[in-house]
Amino acid sequence: MNLLVLTATDGSYNSVRPEAEIYISLLKFGYNITIMTEEDSAYASRFREHGIRVINAHYNKKISPKTIKNIRETIREHKIDVVFATNSKAISNANIACLGMDVKLVTYRGTTGGLYRHDPSAYLNALNPRVDGVICVSEAVTKRVKKQIFDKSKKVETIYKGHELSWYNTEVMNLEEFGTKNSNFNVAFVANVRPHKGLSYLLQAAKKLAQYEDIHIILIGQNISQEPYVSEIKNSGMQERIHLTGYRNDAPQIIASCSVLVQASTRKEGLSRVILEALAAKTPVIASAIEGNAEIIDDGFNGFIVPIKDADAIAQKIIELYDAPQKLAELSQNCAYTLETKMAHKTTVEKFDRFFRELTQQF
């Protein structure tokens, strides 16, 4: 099968890896793969090493005549059977490029929000009649997409973006550079912060944690040193024990060095990558009850699910694990199981292969 992938791979190596490795693994199933992506990205060289054709592309515009022309020429030249577009700008250009072409168009959907019948921009995305199939990152996303599409014959399916434990450097690092010790009960929070990431609820929870002198909070990511977070940290009662790292390439190692991760998002998450990184590091997760989180956190097994926007519940679960190191150790031992079963890379690749072959009737 001839597969054309339209994707961006200019992010950090770890963030791109779960998707990029799918294409490399599909080679073992007999695929001929062409990828239109940034030719100078870290993963572009890895693609070439495995014999994948890389065509330079930057998805900067919703509608780019140059990009559309390149897609159409590539489809013709390499006799493409399936086009797989993975981000909104790639998808909108692919919808136009594939008009009149004898090719199946598959799009990717990674978030539960932003796709509505009443929104004209949605018809440049998965709701476009030209789209033959949609691969969704979680059951929560699949449910939302199916609710919005008119054509019920369109193939919409959940395929988790699988991982392998061997991909992660989860060595424990020295946390003293951030102002805490590894022997403390360290709570990690990772996000390029926007309101729906729920940082305010963790900072409200900190007020109930202030009396525990060896509980520290490490905030990893961009956009944290601003209001309202600066004031919330100041008023938390544990200002000296809340540490900001800024953006870090070694976030997985920091997570691995902490006792627990808090993921407090209030909406929109399809399947949180940082939760998967925490599970790979054997760091239990306290996650809000948005649908995507509940698919990977088994309450009481590899972490806890707490109500959305509930600072008291977050604090309660942190204190529960602080007071019960044996329970914390038990959850930690269970973390890898999820990645080795439901979220395994091997399973993801097999499902991608089956999806494409069923769509094209190539068996």
Tens-place pLDDT, residues 298-321: 999 999 999 999 999 999 999 999
252 preceded by cis ω (within 30°)? no
Four-point Cα dihedral 198, 202, 205, 211, nearest 10: -170
Percent of the chain with pLDDT over 90: 80
**Total-model pTM:** 0.87
Whether pLDDT at 153 is above 90: no
- In this structure, of 85-99, 105-119, 293-307, the range with the lowest mean pLDDT score is 105-119
- Answer yes or no: is pLDDT of 116 > 90: no
What are the Cα distances from residue 265, in Å, to 18, 22, 272? 22, 27, 9
Distance CA 132, CA 149 (A): 11
Give the pLDDT score at 2.
Answer: 98
Compute the distance between CA of residue 94 and CA of residue 106 in angstroms, rounded to an integer.
9
d(CA 278, CA 334): 12
Lowest mean pLDDT among 33-42, 56-65, 263-272, 318-327: 263-272
Whether the pLDDT of residue 6 is over 80: the answer is yes
Query: Letter for the amino acid at 287?
Result: A
Query: Distance between CA atoms of 169 and 101, rounded to whole angstroms?
Result: 44
Residues with Cβ < 8 Å from 224, sequence gap 6 or more? 193, 199, 244, 246
Whether residue 169 is predicted with pLDDT greater than 80 in this model: the reply is no
Q: Residue 253: pLDDT above 90? A: yes
The mean per-residue pLDDT over the stretch 214-233 comes to 95
Dist. CA 26–CA 34, nearest whole Å: 12
Tell me if 36 sits within 8 A of 55, measured CB to CB: yes
pLDDT of residue 171: 84
Q: Which residues of 133-154 are buried (b: 16+ CB within 10 A; e: fewer)?
A: bbbbbbbbbbebbeeebeeeeb
Indicate whether 332 pLDDT > 80.
yes
Across 9-13, 269-273, 350-354, least confident range: 269-273
**Is the pLDDT at 270 greater than 80, yes or no?**
no
d(CA 264, CA 311): 9
In angstroms and rounded to an integer, the radius of gyration of the C-alpha atoms of the chain is 22
Q: 224 pLDDT band (50/70/90 cuts)?
A: very high
Report the distance separating Cα 294 and Cα 103, nearest Å: 36
Q: What is the pLDDT of residue 326?
A: 97
Q: State the SS3 of the chain.
A: CEEEEECCCCCCHHHHHHHHHHHHHHHHHCCEEEEEECCCCHHHHHHHHCCCEEEECCCCCCCCHHHHHHHHHHHHHCCCCEEEECCHHHHHHHHHHCCCCCCEEEEEECECCCCCCCCHHHHHCCCCCCCCEEEECCHHHHHHHHHHCCCCCCEEEECCCCECHHHCCCCCCCHHHHCCCCCCEEEEEECCCCHHHCHHHHHHHHHHHCCCCCEEEEEECCCCCCCCHHHHHHCCCCHHHEEEEECCCCHHHHHHCCCEEEECCCCCECCCHHHHHHHHCCCCEEEECCHHHHHHCCECCCEEEECCCCHHHHHHHHHHHHHCHHHHHHHHHHHHHHHHCCCEHHHHHHHHHHHHHHHHCCC
pLDDT, mean over the chain: 94
Instruction: Using pLDDT thresholds of 50, 70 and 90, give the confidence band for residue 229.
Output: very high
Give Cα 89 distance to the centre of its chain: 18
> What pLDDT, in 10s, does the model give residues 336-355?
898 898 899 999 999 999 99
For residue 192, the model assigns a pLDDT of 87
Per-residue pLDDT at 125 = 93
Residue appearing with tokens 């969704």: 136
Confidence of residue 362 (pLDDT cuts 50, 70, 90): confident
